[in-house]
Amino acid sequence: MSERGPVVLVDALNVLRSTWPNISERQLVELCREWASTEGCRAVLCFDGASPAIDVGEPVDLVSTGSESADDWIAREAARLRSSGARFWLVTSDRELRSRAGPGAERTIGRGTFARMLLDLHG
């Protein structure tokens, strides 16, 4: 990885629903913080509507989309990152979002694969 790791755009609700029992919002944020620190990247967790009221700190950012869908926010942010030449990864299993936001991503990770990677951090 280069000096500066990628921005990892996470379709948060998509990941929350990828395991049974579902991952809680708090657990997702905590696991992403640990994972992003280990990977040397910045994780941006995008929630439809309001993000959880959790104090996160680096290297995780929480995005509340308000009335905008998380998919639209992620697609717009991916386009911005792509046009600026920034490195980014995309985490979602939503096919339509992958087609809109995936071009230019260094890596696209499915929700189940990502959830298992996070949960594997704790054995």
Can you give the pLDDT at residue 117? 95
Task: Please determine, for residue 123, whether its predicted confidence score (pLDDT) is greater than 80.
Answer: no
pTM for the predicted model, two decimal places: 0.94
CB count in 10 Å sphere of residue 77: 18
Rg (CA), the chain: 13
Can you give the pLDDT at residue 81? 98
Length of the chain: 123
User: DSSP code of 55?
Assistant: -
